Amino acid sequence: MTTMPRDEIELLVCTTCRSAAPANPLAGTDPDAPRAGARLADALDGALPDGVTLRAVECLSNCQRGCTVALRGPGRWTYVYGGLDPDTGPETIREGAARYRDAPDGRVPWRARPEHFKRNCIARIPPLEAPE
């Protein structure tokens, strides 16, 4: 098993996510169109802060809340965020990832989080190395 360096942060982006339900239920049903999560991952590819690595993953099981991402790193709390838009979300994600990277344990103070992260945190998971 490969372990990440202590200062390496991963941004997991669900590529199977769809946008939140559209007002018109028939809109966005083209089966060949890229899913919103894949578009979000493409928008972030090569455009993340230093020390943050993009990992495209399938299904983070948050299907009712639109595009979902997770930030994790060794010895850090993991955060899962949903409701992201593939067109407007990348800037929020870059800002949040930089603040997460700069927090020694991954816990960014609530007031310092991007506004979307304050309102759309799905889960906060303690590090594997957490004391009992």
Tokens of 122: 């799905």
Tokens of 86: 């593939």
Distance CA 105, CA 83 (A): 24
**Model pLDDT for residues 67-108, shown as the tens digit of each residue:** 999 999 999 999 999 999 999 999 999 999 999 999 999 999
Distance CA 12, CA 112 (A): 21
- pLDDT grade for 132, boundaries at 50, 70 and 90: low
pLDDT given at position 2:
45
Residue 26 pLDDT exceeds 50 = no
**CATH number listed for the domain at residues 9-22+29-125:** 3.40.30
Please give the model's pTM, rounded to 2 decimal places. Answer: 0.85
